[in-house]
Amino acid sequence: MAVISIERMGLLSVFCVCLFFSSAFAVDRGNFKTCDQSSFCKRQRALKPGQSPYRALLETLELSDSRLTLQLINDNNKVHLLLELYRLQGNMTRVKINELKPLKPRFEVPDVLIAEPPTEPLSVLSKDDNGIVLSLGAESQRLIVSARPFRLDIMEGPEVLLSLNSRGLLAFEHLHLRKDTQAQPDGAEVKESVDGDQQQDEVEKDEDGEGDKEQDGLWEETFKSHTDTKPNGPTSISLDFSLPGVEHVYGIPEHADDLKLKTTDGGDPYRLYNLDVFQYELYNPMALYGSIPVMLAHNTQRTMGIFWLNAAETWVDISSNTAGKTVFGKMLDFVQGSSEKPQTDIRWISESGIIDVFIMLGPKPSDVFSQYASLTGTQSFPPLASLGYHQCRWNYNDQEDVKSVDQGFDQHDIPYDFIWLDIEHADGKRYFTWDPHKFSQPKEMLQGLMDKRRKMVAIVDPHIKVDSGYKIHSEITSKDFYVKNKDGRNYEGWCWPGNSGYPDFTIPEMRAWWASMFAYDQYEGSMENLFTWNDMNEPSVFNGPEVTMHKDALHGKWEHREIHNIYGLYVQMATAEGQIQRSGGVERPFVLTRAFFAGSQRFGAVWTGDNAAEWGHLKISIPMCLSLGLVGVSFCGADIGGFFKNPSTELLVRWYQTGAYQPFFRAHAHLDTTRREPWLFGPENTALIREVIRQRYALLPYWYQLFFQAYRTGMPVMRPLWVDYPKDTVTFTIDDEFLIGSDLLVHPITEEGSRGVTAYLPGAGEVWYDVHTFQKHNGAQNLYIPVTLSSIPVFQRGGSIIPRKDRVRRSSACMENDPYTLYVALSPKKFARGKLYIDDGHSFNYDTKKEFIHRSLTFANNALTSSNLCPDCNFLTSSWIEKVLILGASKPSKVVLKMDGKETPVDFEFDSSMSVLTLRKPGMNAGDDWTLLLQ
């Protein structure tokens, strides 16, 4: 009876938690720390600039072909650090700082870099008592190491590009023994370092040389009812960076904030700590579900990046000498000849680990993207179907509900590719299972979808119900794969199933086992058209500190505090590997994750979490996804309509119009919201939603080509205007419109009751064509656009060619062999260029067998030509070119197709009012060489 009573109490607790989650409508800020409540952040932030105790011991310099090492000393406590400098291929510099002889090893983040970055030789140009000058090779780039105080400057010619520790905020809390204990940390060795005799006198001193005394949070910290024991004591690190000439910095997602990062003077720093934040607030720096510690700096001369490789809780301070100045003030500076150069200063603060930072020197935006991709990999190339429309809610009730929704799309002539199942589909929220009453025949359900060439996603979360009769739990227990608590027993916390264990995904064998569970003979009821959603993988622990795992939980010898921000990456990594393995390595996976880190782009898609049906949440989805794209994660989207609350009809329509032009296109809603399938809001609104979903499907060839480019180069699919117009200062703060690739500009309607919007069309001397009306507009202007509820302002850049499939069917797979229409938008010089990419849409054969078509499309000298970009590739398509529209054209006397040595006349029409030439049924295979001559 006692066991039953405890179980009932547990279920009641989870019920109460769920009730709280479903009834509250705003984040409880009190559940999450501010910097003042995070002892290491408060401690580090109290340090004053300009008082650095560190100096470089130049006599310890050692230089090899691949690296330079140099010792630093803290003159307050005599602790020595080891500085390592690497010149990396591709115009990057790596800086590592660690303790020279720590009591025990400090954590260094594994599995994020795709390989050890290749180096290039460093050479000493000069050296004296004050410092060292090193050559970085290209374009007179030099790295200057100043000795007292220690400082690094990267120069190009006479210009300082970036400085480290110029404000003297380097801080490195070294491992030491606690004064009131004689026992040493597990695995610790007696420290035999250059400061030997002074060690015991100094162990209780902080970085300023002041005693630990009774400072809060050094060896133990309490937040609300949770106490974090700190057996290693204070271990935080900090380093400042100065960026002369820079006013605009971006990145460090995930935050619900503007694209351009704000200064943090007088407020909290930006926080990077993966957390389950219930209906997050907008426009503040608090942490959300994912963390990518990468920042981009941009001005008209150069783009650079800083990658801070640390997976512990991290805070980022930003200050600027131009912050708060009005436009008038800046103009006054210019008129009066102010000599003050703009500068942005960044400070990174992490709770533990080492300093390991990659400085990406650009100089172009595309260079920074390729530099970062060379370190952490590119966006995985997704299956084509995953770029279509996804229909989800928490929860579709049962198999009949799934069937009814699926039929509803057909009845209303709306295409979709994936229908999703949330946590209620599983048997008692035991993942990898099906509710025996509601989903008793999962294969029958999946086969019904497969017959229509559609697919399903089912959720598999990384909290496992503690139940001895549950195979997954029993196997993880028997293999000892659970995260441990500080006492060495299995860590348990509350999540959706009740009492749950948390698999230790940092263990390679655990990830391999997890991957094996996706095999068709292990995951009963699964089929090849079932894919996966990893939610709650921050990890979310309802009764844990800040709704997550205790920092003193253990992953082998490492505390959770060291690895927290990469836990979600490991979950998605193991899940994606499971999908690949189940197909024998043939099929591409599709995995959506909520938590992420640097490198997560290699494993699938992300979304912006638990948003709300509010206009502000629609608007913020744009900068949130733009920020992710800048740091490698192109496959991003937000829940269409808002997860919480019920959207007005206008908001829902506007959200579909926005989401259709973002990379990941999924509608999703909370359990307590009213149903909102696209046809439930009257025929007029159904027609509006249908139309924009069909626009998405027509553009799938363009989206697919862009994802192929992102996979190859690291270029973001959805991007801010400044990426393609890096010298146009007007674009630097724009985040209510965006580019898809280089050639489509989208300005969604994100304000209630809008009668018109003003879009900025960049590019002096360029032209843009409205994709709906083909009206031509000049670049470098603000264009006022009257709008109705049916409007979604989208423009094609003059000088581009975009392939579309205008015959839209029930799913992307049904359109596989359909013909293409080419939209050729001419520049003022009557030139245009584009690409067409085709493969089977789902396998790795494009990579393993070079089975794809990649063609260059060029319009020049009144001729449109298709030529092969991959002569040794081998793929056949039955798709053909059905139509060509040339925007900005002149009327020809005739049009001739040259192909296979033959010339064939082509029918055409010319609209003189819009200067649009339409070529009908030229009839070429999409994979062939051909030329259309306008005579």
Whether residues 922 and 789 share a domain: the answer is: yes
Flag whether pLDDT at 837 surpasses 70. yes
Q: Assess contact for 267 and 573: CB atoms under 8 A.
A: no
Give the separation between CA 260 and CA 910, rounded to whole angstroms.
44
CATH number at residue 476: 3.20.20.80
In this prediction, residues 131-144 reach a mean pLDDT of 89
The first and second tokens of residue 580, run together, are 């690949």
**In this structure, what CATH number is given to the domain that contains residue 65?**
2.60.40.1760
Asked if 595 and 564 touch (Cβ cutoff 8 Å), the reply is no
| Nearest CA among 870, 585, 817, 615 for reference residue 701 | 817
Does residue 815 lie within any of the structural domains? yes
Shared domain for 801 and 903, answered yes or no, is yes
Q: Which residues face 908 on adjacent strands? A: 919
Q: Is residue 101 part of a domain?
A: yes
pLDDT digits (tens, 9 = 90+) for 608-664: 999 999 999 999 999 999 999 999 999 999 999 999 999 999 999 999 999 999 999
The answer to whether residues 368 and 403 belong to one domain is: no
pLDDT computed for residue 206 by the predictor: 46
Dihedral Cα 906, 912, 913, 917, nearest 10 deg:
20
Residues 360-385: pLDDT tens digits? 999 999 999 999 999 999 999 999 99
**396 and 248, same domain (yes or no):** no
Quick one: average pLDDT of 433-460? 98
Q: Identity (one letter) of the amino acid at 559? A: E
Domain count, the chain: 3
Indicate if 434 and 546 belong to the same structural domain: yes
**pLDDT over threshold 50, residue 339:** yes
The residue out of 550, 575, 594 marking a domain boundary is 594
Domain of residue 303: give its range: 48-174+232-374
User: Based on the domain organization, do 309 and 440 belong to the same domain?
Assistant: no
Share above pLDDT 70 across residues of the chain, in percent, rounded to a whole number: 91
Same domain for 419 and 518, yes or no, is: yes
User: Which residues is 155 bridged to in the sheet?
Assistant: 142, 160
Within 8 A by CB and 6+ apart from 423, the residues are 394, 395, 429, 459, 461, 496, 535
- The pLDDT assigned to 26 comes to 74
What value does the mean pLDDT of the chain take? 93
Q: Given 406, 610, 639, 728, which residue is catalytic? A: 610
Residue 632 domain-assigned? no
Q: How far does CA 662 lie from the centroid of its chain?
A: 13
For residue 714 the two structure tokens come to 């690291």
- Beta strands (DSSP E) in 471-588 are 492-495, 498-501, 530-534, 554-555, 558-559
pLDDT at 193: 36
pLDDT band at 139 (very low <50, low <70, confident <90, very high): low
Residue 535 falls in the annotated catalytic set: yes
Question: pLDDT > 90: what percent of the chain?
Answer: 90
More confident of the two residues 330 and 121: 121
Give the CATH number, domain containing residue 821: 2.60.40.1180
Both 306 and 442 in a single domain? Answer: no
Cβ atoms within 10 Å of 245's Cβ, excluding its own: 16
Q: What is the pLDDT of residue 767?
A: 98
Statement: residue 110 has pLDDT above 70: yes
Question: Looking at the domain assignment, is residue 192 inside a domain?
Answer: no
- Strands 141-146 and 248-251 come out as unpaired
My answer on whether 346 and 417 are in the same domain is no
Q: How far is CA 864 from the centre of its chain?
A: 37
Tens-place pLDDT, residues 342-359: 999 999 999 999 999 999
Taking only the tens place, the pLDDT of each residue in 850-868 is 999 999 999 999 999 999 9
**What's the predicted TM-score (pTM) here?**
0.94
CA distances from 698 to 743, 851, 878, 880 (A): 15, 23, 18, 15
**Tokens representing 302?**
């150069």
Question: Both tokens of residue 33?
Answer: 């720390």
Q: Are 619 and 651 in contact (CB under 8 A)?
A: no
Instruction: Go through the chain and tell me how many residues it has.
Output: 935
- Is 743 marked active-site? no
Do 436 and 319 lie in one domain? The reply is no
DSSP 813: G
472 part of a folded domain: yes
User: What is the pLDDT at residue 670?
Assistant: 98
In a domain, 724, yes or no: no
Residue 442 lies in a domain: yes
210: which 2 tokens? 């002041």
463 with 578, same domain?
yes
How confident is the model over 169-226, as pLDDT tens digits? 999 999 999 986 644 444 444 333 333 333 323 334 444 444 444 467 999 999 999 9
Give me the sign of the Cα torsion angle 103, 485, 559, 219: negative
Cis previous bond, 524, omega within 30: no
The answer to the question of residue 707 being in a domain is no
Residue type, 5: S
Task: Please identify, among 328, 346, 374, the residue that sits at the C-terminal boundary of a domain.
Answer: 374
C-alpha angle with apex 853: 848 to 854, nearest 5 degrees?
Answer: 105
Model pLDDT, residue 847: 98
Helices and strands (H and E) in the chain: how many: 17, 53
The residue among 374, 403, 435 that closes a domain is 374
Of 388, 387, 390, 391, nearest to 675 (Cα)?
Answer: 391
* pLDDT at residue 21 is higher than 80: no
| 337 and 292 belong to one structural domain | yes
- 535, 552, 735, 743: the catalytic one is 535
